[in-house]
């Protein structure tokens, strides 16, 4: 985000001609930002499976769905665009785009990620040093990326397909813009999965119903 946005987790994007290393574009829980200006929705790469409005990544056991007029933008696409912008060759076949970018897919209301914060949901993945003790506390520690962050609703325990999880609601400033986010967070051993929805605070309520539908569609095997 030069305007940072994928980070409850924050996948930031820098709107500059020279693309930074993809890993810098991925942070956890903060402002959820767009990674690079000009990234468009493209066909899925080998690791990704897109069937209409459903995205799956069998390697990580995740699935999420989108509204019919929204768009999937995968980590593979983001990394390919970043490497091309930097004049680098395409990534080798053994490169794991999810590990490199810190997220699997962005569910975006717009097909092109530009300078402005557009409504989006980011499915993020991060490996931690060890499995968490308290899930709620572990999820709150992942949150970063916003200035002057403020909790909207206290973080509370929930369950995702019977798995312990947490729900977070917060807001804060990203490059001077007030952004509101809501997220689901859960773990598989020491691997964290966060599905974070964000929009400008002034637009959040209008997207809240759509965000809830997308969050409810998340599945983890």
pLDDT at 34: 40
Percent of the chain with pLDDT over 90: 60
Tell me how far apart the alpha carbons of residues 165 and 150 are, in angstroms, rounded to a whole number.
21
Question: CA torsion angle for 111, 86, 90, 42 (degrees, to 10)?
Answer: 0
pLDDT tens digits for range 27-40: 444 433 444 444 55
Tell me how far apart the alpha carbons of residues 214 and 121 are, in angstroms, rounded to a whole number.
8
Does residue 80 register a pLDDT over 80? yes
Q: What is the pTM of this model?
A: 0.81
pLDDT tens digits for range 131-147: 999 999 999 988 877 78
Q: What residue ranges do the domains of the chain occupy?
A: 22-220
Looking at domain 22-220, does it have CATH number 3.30.499.10? no
Q: What is the mean pLDDT of residues 115-119?
A: 85
């Amino acid at each position: 985000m030069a305007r940072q946005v994928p980070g409850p987790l924050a996948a930031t994007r820098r709107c500059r001609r020279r693309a930074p290393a993809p890993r810098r574009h991925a942070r956890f829980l903060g402002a959820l930002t767009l990674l690079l200006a000009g990234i468009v929705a493209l066909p899925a790469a080998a690791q990704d499976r897109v069937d209409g409005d459903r995205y799956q990544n069998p390697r990580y056991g995740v699935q999420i769905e989108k509204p019919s007029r929204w768009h999937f933008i995968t980590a593979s696409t983001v990394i390919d665009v970043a490497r091309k912008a930097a004049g680098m060759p395409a990534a080798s076949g053994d490169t794991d785009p999810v590990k490199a970018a810190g997220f699997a897919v962005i569910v975006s209301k717009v097909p092109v990620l530009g300078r402005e914060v557009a409504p989006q949901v980011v499915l993020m993945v991060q490996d931690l040093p060890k499995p968490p003790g308290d899930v709620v506390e572990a999820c709150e520690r992942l949150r970063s990326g916003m200035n002057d962050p403020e909790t909207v609703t206290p973080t509370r325990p929930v369950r995702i397909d019977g798995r312990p999880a947490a729900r977070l609601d917060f807001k804060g400033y990203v490059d001077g813009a007030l952004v509101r986010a809501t997220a689901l967070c859960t773990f598989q051993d020491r691997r964290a999965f966060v599905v974070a929805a964000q929009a400008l605070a002034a637009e959040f309520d209008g997207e809240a119903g759509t965000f809830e539908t997308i969050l409810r569609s998340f599945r983890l095997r």
